[in-house]
Amino acid sequence: MAFARSYPSSGSSVLLRLSLPNPDPEILICGGAALGADEAAVNGTFLTSADTWPHLPCRGRPSWVIQEMPLPRVMGDMVLLPTGDVLIINGASAGTAGAEMARKPVLNPILYRPGSTVPRQHLTYGRVLVGGSNPHDGYVFSDVTFPTDLSIEAFHPPYMDALFSALGPRIIGGGARLRQL
């Protein structure tokens, strides 16, 4: 089956972390809608979303590498974390973007870890705030398949666990000059 990745088909994309002095850009795309998903959704049929993430290393003669995702996703959101990993949240596994044209909400986040030999050193924060959902033209709180949701949730990446706190940077002195351990 063929898939479209841009709106209204709503795959999401991110430029992976660059490393100097030789930055080789890499693009990652997550999911998307099946071709014809918009017409099918209007008629009450919600086609399964893409379960692939095309990956484009932009060096030499670039060519797409297609990898399989653990589950299909459309309208997902990708967040580049301080570690270089990519958090993929939200979306649905059937249908397409647009007012009430998707079904089967995806409740499982995915952590994509691009292969790298570059050590990742980062600050000890990097929480991700996830807020609400509204597939309607206005706020609709009842009598619909997916009512407007105004909740907020904080995602704490695994590296923020207290077990790893000794591995993060910390201030050990003050005054005119600071040292970082």
Whole-angstrom Cα distance, residue 147 to residue 163? 38
Across the strands, what pairs with 95?
Answer: 102
Whole-angstrom Cα distance, residue 135 to residue 179? 49
Whole-angstrom Cα distance, residue 99 to residue 138? 10
pLDDT at 86: 87
177 lies in some domain: no
80 lies in some domain: yes
The residues, ordered by sequence, that sit 6+ positions from 122 with a Cβ below 8 Å of its Cβ are: 82, 83, 159
179 lies in some domain: no
176 lies in some domain: no
55 lies in some domain: yes
Tokens of 21: 């002095």
pLDDT at 72: 92
Query: pLDDT tens digit string along 129-169?
Result: 777 777 777 788 888 888 887 777 777 777 777 787 777 66
pLDDT at 40: 92
The residue count for the chain: 181
Backbone angles phi, psi at 162, to 5 degrees: -55, -25
Q: Long-range contacts of range 17-22, CB-CB < 8 Å, 24 or more positions apart?
A: 17/80, 17/84, 17/114, 19/116, 19/118
Instruction: Select the more confidently predicted residue: 88 or 181.
Output: 88
* Inter-residue contact 32 to 47 (CB < 8 Å): no
User: 56: closest CA among 93, 95, 11, 87?
Assistant: 11
pLDDT at 122: 41
State mean pLDDT over 5-30. Answer: 80
Query: pLDDT tens digit string along 68-97?
Result: 888 999 988 888 887 788 888 888 999 988
Top mean pLDDT of 19-23, 52-56, 117-121 is at: 52-56
pLDDT category of residue 175 using cuts at 50, 70 and 90: low
pLDDT at 10 > cutoff 90? no
181 lies in some domain: no
How many beta carbons lie within 10 A of that of residue 6, not counting itself? 12
Number of domains composing the chain: 1
**In the Cβ-directed half-sphere of 83, how many Cα atoms lie within 13 Å?**
18
173 lies in some domain: no
95 lies in some domain: yes
Q: State the chain's mean pLDDT as an integer.
A: 79
pLDDT category of residue 123 using cuts at 50, 70 and 90: very low
pLDDT at 121: 43
pLDDT at 120 > cutoff 60? no
Instruction: Write out the residue range of the structural domain in which residue 133 sits.
Output: 3-167
